[in-house]
Amino acid sequence: MISMKEQCICCCEEHTDMAFDDFLLDSETWPELNKAQNSCSCSYCSREAVYCLEKSVKRE
Ligand SMILES: [Zn+2]
C-alpha cells in the first residue's frame, strides 16, 4: 500500500483498480475519479497517469 499525499492517487489505466482499493482502505470513502493532469505519473508503475483519484469534497 502506498502513502497518499493530500488524499490523491494518480494511476495509469492498468492500475486503476489497485488505486481504488488503496484509496478505499486508506480513507474509507469513495474517491472522485478525475482525468490526470499532464506530467502526472502512475503511483504504481511510473508510467504516465490516466486518472487521478481524489477525495471528494463534501459541500454543506
Ligand atoms: Zn500503473
Determine the distance separating the centroid of ligand 1 and the alpha carbon of 60, expressed in angstroms.
Answer: 35
Q: How far is CA 2 from CA 26, 28, 29, 58, 60, in A?
A: 9, 15, 16, 24, 30
What cell numbers appear for 48 in the block? 504516465
Q: What is the pLDDT of residues 9-41, one digit of tens each?
A: 999 999 999 999 999 998 899 999 999 987 889
Distance CA 13, CA 59 (A): 29
Nearest to 21 by CA among 40, 50, 1, 49: 1
CA 12 to ligand 1 centroid distance, Å: 4
Query: Which is more confident, 58 or 47?
Result: 47
Distance 19 CA to ligand 1 centre (A): 9
pLDDT at 4 over 90: no
Q: How many angstroms is it from 25 CA to the middle of ligand 1? A: 18
Q: Ligand 1 centroid vs 50 CA: distance in angstroms?
A: 9
